[in-house]
Structure 1
């Protein structure tokens, strides 16, 4: 067996998982059986299984063995997704439900609101002075009962304090933030997003039920109305094994 033995074992098991020989929910052979099959020690087998865990392909369940993980549905995230939030809202939806292909009844949004003073990063993104009063919102998005996205979208107190937008009891709101701000006479007309990849924080991994070794997309979104920043979502976090980012790039001169 050339190279590192554990890499060879991991590659064979990975191939069986990806081609369906070991389907989602299947239990892998016991470590002792794999060790006999490949003529290696159980330590080498554990190294191979750890490599599969880090790739998000298998999971261990206490002393119940190692199992092939269920493959999460892949969400295609379009660069034009926010068009779903433009009015009028003839059908209850948001860009999230549209991307997920779920009905409103299959959508759940857990929320936590608090008033904060903007730190230097948040103030810089808003283009305001540090210490400016901001409504910080923490959202966990569920699609058909599965936690699929977390976000920290923030709004300026000067725009929303004392309005229905600042009341978490009104969530989820069809049309999302764009429609919320429209009810206040604020028309979002431009959005920028910066996308990076990183490993999840422990809280993100627990909340989103992310397997060990699976990275996330971390998106910083800024919404504008007539050139003024009216919302900053920093970050939006989406598991990397559940999403494909689709971008449309029109090839025409900018005004």
Structure 2
């Protein structure tokens, strides 16, 4: 194969992808069978199978047990807004994750005391296996799950205080900034890093996607000066949501 030339299965996948994009193969249409692809493009069964696998991995088609492979209907893409103006203000847990004031949402969360995994301990600047409060959230808009979040707070800071449990006590459901202020910890900066990876089966089950499809992972850490007081991973389905930032310019 000459340098720079695409493998045959990618060329076939690209042509089928274009047919999906331009409506030649609309949503819910059955994808041509492996035999049909082989005949139409003059390729082997292996090439036809690999082309179908590419489209499935991209989330453009889905298999239906006993029926075949069909073009998926792509949901309209919406925006999750995050803002440097709001992250340090008093807010609810939902508002902490979605800064658009027009969006009304709900959340549910549960907390448990765990030993800090090595990666989380590094983010919190504590020793591995030190106790942390781990809280898992599901965020919904209009009843639809849109985000997952898992947060960790060091119990050396919050243990035996009224804010030890984020969803219980006098400040239940409030944002990190307000809760920490109640124990005289002044949060004054937050860092976020965005990456992407395939969705875990457990995440896809809650968010309504397919395992292996891409999700955005927002790794966030709140700090009081240089002291990390909370770190979290926010999971957003990449095929349904874009993450938008509105940041002040100084």
TM range (shorter): 0.7 to 0.9
Distance of 1:61 and 1:26 partners within structure 2: 12
Corresponding residue number in structure 2 for 1:220: 219
User: Using a 3 Å threshold, how does the CA distance of structure 1 residues 155 and 57 change in structure 2: closer, same or farther?
Assistant: same
Question: 1:194 deviation in Å?
Answer: 2.3
**Counterparts of 1:81 and 1:141 in 2: how far apart (Å)?**
20
> Which residue does the alignment assign to 1:76?
79
> Displacement of 1:114 after TM fit?
0.8
Change (3 A) 1:238 1:29: same
Pairwise CA distance, 1:139:
2.0
Match of 1:86 in 2: 89
What's the RMSD between the two structures over aligned residues? Answer: 3.6
Q: How many residues align?
A: 244
Answer 1 or 2: which has greater helix percent: 1
Partner of 2:115: 117
What is the TM-score of this pair, normalised by structure 1? Answer: 0.74
Q: 2:146 — aligned with what?
A: 148
Gaps of 5+ in 2: none
1:63 CA displacement: 1.8
What does the per-residue CA deviation read over 1:119-142, in whole Å, with 9 as the maximum and x for residues that have no partner? 443333223344433111122333
- Stretch deviating more after TM superposition (145-154 or 75-84): 75-84
**In the aligned structure 2, how far is the partner of 1:74 from the partner of 1:81?**
23
Q: List alignment gaps of at least 5 residues for structure 1.
A: none
Determine helix, strand or coil for the equivalent of 1:116: strand
Query: Residues 33 and 119 (structure 1 numbering): CA distance in 2 closer, same or farther, change over 3 Å?
Result: closer
**How do residues 170-209 of structure 1 correspond to structure 2 at under 5 angstroms?**
176-182=175-181, 184=183, 186-209=185-208
CA distance in 1, matches of 2:76, 2:234: 19
- Cα distance change, pair 130–43 in 1 and its aligned pair in 2 (3 A): closer
TM-score, length-scaled by structure 2: 0.75
Could you say what secondary structure the match of 1:27 adopts? coil
